[in-house]
Structure 1
Amino acid sequence: MVLLGLTVACGAPSGPTPPPAAALRVTTWNVQTGAHDPDEWAPVVADLRPDVLALQEVCTRDAEGLAELLRRDHGLEYAVVRGPIRPPSPAEANAPVNAALGPACDTGPNDVLYGVAVLSRLPVGPPRIVTFPPDRRDEQRGYLSVDVTTPAGPVAVLNSHIGLDGVQSDQIRRLADGAARPGPTVVLGDLNVDPTDPDLAPLRDGFAEVDPSGEVPTTDRGKIDYIFLRGLVAAGPPQSPEVTASDHRPLVADVRVGP
């Protein structure tokens, strides 16, 4: 039986638990681009060795740089699926809250290369990028959807970085609607809500969580990063290793294909 996994360690001195034999490992991580860079992220990723890695707050060139470091220094081959969350109109691109997204990655406001990305050791299909309705108080948000081909068949992967200031309910609902499709699906990302927030209901109604009790913190403020599963079953407890390469910890768990 093929396993799909996400590896999250709780800061144990011995390091993250290795994946089970024949496991697939998926990880979500907000890498805080600008404050940190691929040279810092690569050793963490190489230690975790995920098959599918969802990144948030990343410049697409840095996702590509990370993949190159993993290949060169650690012998790990990853395909990069770019998911820049581009403002949907020139006026919104040049709004103050979005205009900073270009310079964050050394580009202009009309050539945004900032947002989310997926790195995969497995074959991947073409990306689909969906933007949420713009909010003048916050940068443009959205999600990246891609199909990953596993030995057990295709798995849909949705990666998102949800906004702040009251937009969570609408954006999480839109993310859940986008994930409403047949077949095994994993939804992951920085959702910017804590485990008690009712805004998570649209995802909890159709998906299982790898950490349903919300006991695994992913930041110093607690848990705001999540992995939701449909058609997949957790094969062990999630982990969340403490790191210095971001203000978030990677969230990882091992899961198997199943009901």
Structure 2
Amino acid sequence: MSALGIVLMLAWPLLFIVPPASGDVPVRTGVRVASYNINAGVGVDGKFDLARTVAALRGLNADVIGLQEVDVHWGERSGWRDVAGELAGALGMRSYFAPIYDLDPPAAGKPRRQFGTAVLSRYPIFESFNHSLTRVSAVDPGAGPVSVPGFAEVGIRVGGTPVHVYSTVLDTQSDAAVRRRQVEETLKVLGEDGGHQVLVGSFNAGPGASELAPLWGSLTDAWAAAGGGSEGLTYPAQTPDRRIDYVATSRQTAALTAQVPNVSGSDHLPTIADLQVMEGAQVP
């Protein structure tokens, strides 16, 4: 991380001290949002270490964290543990988990095997949804693209302003066709809400990819708007050579800074953005 990035992270609580609003002037409220594909808690060393993941997340000092590739009693790789619930508990945050896969338990009396996305929040969550996107199933790849859940949405209030936060993971195939369809479906979901929105996740394509272009028609890539001097590369974690993890915002929410901290705990690096929410702003 650059010296500037370290200063900004340490100074974060001071960035958004604003004078009282007068008249019709909107109040500006700050929120730090992060996206982290945690690879089920397995690091580049191939070892599951939930304490390491907790430490990485705590170091982000984020108010809201969108997680991808999250296990809940999924299997041996994560010790059959409720990764989403344990992370939220360790960090003292609220959580919403949106399973992509929800399979029968390995034995009678055991919890169901689930894998998906999640959102952790320091703010109370006043509503949550698990939306469906077209996906190529990892558990039944021969089935072809089908509509399945796993696109998490939560509603929080920053100051007094409702903000919708979404966590997603897009298709990993080299053929962009499924991702293109997922982007169309994502924009349809966002269009139903409107207002202040933050979309985070592993998009599995670079910012200039043609299938992502429709997103940038209505959302702002936080790194492009406020990133540091580097390219913001997030994958693979040890020697990143591409940017495939994002924080994107609606026009009513501005990115002031964006960072990619070099932390361990996954095969991806996280992305952080310090955002400014305009309370009382006119929202179309």
Smaller-chain TM-score bracket: 0.7 to 0.9
Higher strand share: 2
Instruction: Give the TM-score normalised by the residue count of structure 2.
Output: 0.71
SS at match of 1:217: coil
Alignment of 1:177-192 (within 5 A): 177-180=188-191, 181-192=193-204
* Count of aligned residue pairs for this structure pair: 227
Indicate the residue corresponding to 1:28 in structure 2: 35
Query: Offset at 1:56?
Result: 0.3
TM-score by length of 1: 0.78
Tell me: higher relative CO, structure 1 or 2? Use CA pairs within 8 A at least 6 residues apart. 1
Deviations 1:75-99 (A, max 9, x none): xx20111111136xxxxx69xxxxx
Q: Which residue of 2 aligns with 1:73?
A: none
Partner of 2:247: 227
| Runs of 4 or more consecutive aligned structure 1 residues displaced over 4 Å after TM superposition | 9-16, 138-141
Question: What amino acid is the match of 1:80?
Answer: S
Q: Secondary structure at the match of 2:40?
A: coil
Is structure 2 residue 134 aligned with structure 1 residue 133?
yes
Q: Taking structure 1 as reference, are residues 152 and 177 closer, same or farther at Cα in structure 2, changes over 3 Å only? A: same
Q: Cα deviations across residues 98-123 of structure 1 (Å, max 9, x unaligned)?
A: xxxx77xxx78xx4421111110001
The alpha-carbon deviation at position 233 of structure 1 amounts to: 0.4
Deviation at 1:20, TM superposition (A): 4.5
Match of 1:158?
A: 166
Which string of whole-angstrom CA distances, capped at 9 and with x for unpartnered residues, describes residues 129-187 of structure 1?
Answer: 11223435389664111101111411001110111223111112211221113210001
Deviation, structure 1 residue 38: 2.3
Q: Is the 8 A contact 1:132 1:142 kept in 2?
A: yes
Q: Does the aligned pair in 2 maintain the 1:225–1:251 contact within 8 Å?
A: yes
Verify the 8 A CA contact 2:151 2:167 in the aligned structure 1: yes
Root-mean-square deviation (Å): 2.8
Code of the residue aligned with 1:216 in structure 2: it is G
The change in CA–CA distance for 1:194 and 1:10 in structure 2 (over 3 A counts) is: farther
Partner of 1:255 in structure 2? 275
By how many angstroms is 1:11 displaced? 9.6
Contact 1:218 1:248 in 2 (8 A): yes
In structure 1, stretches of 5+ residues that fail to align are 1-8, 71-76, 88-92, 95-101
Q: 1:1-259, aligned counterparts within 5 Å?
A: 9=1, 17-18=9-10, 19-21=12-14, 22=16, 23-33=30-40, 35=42, 36-60=48-72, 61-70=82-91, 77-86=92-101, 111-135=112-136, 137=141, 142-165=150-173, 166=175, 167-180=178-191, 181-212=193-224, 215-219=231-235, 220-230=240-250, 231-236=252-257, 238-258=258-278
Deviation at 1:126, TM superposition (A): 3.0
Q: Work out the CA distance in 2 between the residues paired with 1:13 and 1:234.
A: 14
C-alpha separation between the residues in 2 aligned to 1:113 and 1:241? 28
Distance in 1 separating the partners of 2:60 and 2:196: 23
1:198-245 Cα deviation digits (max 9, x unpaired): 111221010111112782111123100111111100122x11111221
Flag the 1:112–1:170 CA change in 2: closer, same or farther, 3 A: farther
Q: After superposition, give the CA deviation of every residue in 1:13-51 in whole Å (9 maximum; x if it has no partner).
A: 959723252431110000011523421111112122211
Q: CA deviation at 1:248?
A: 0.6
Unaligned runs of 5+ residues in structure 2 are 17-29, 43-47, 73-81
Task: Give the Cα separation in 2 of the matches to 1:141 and 1:82.
Answer: 11
Amino acid at match of 1:245: G
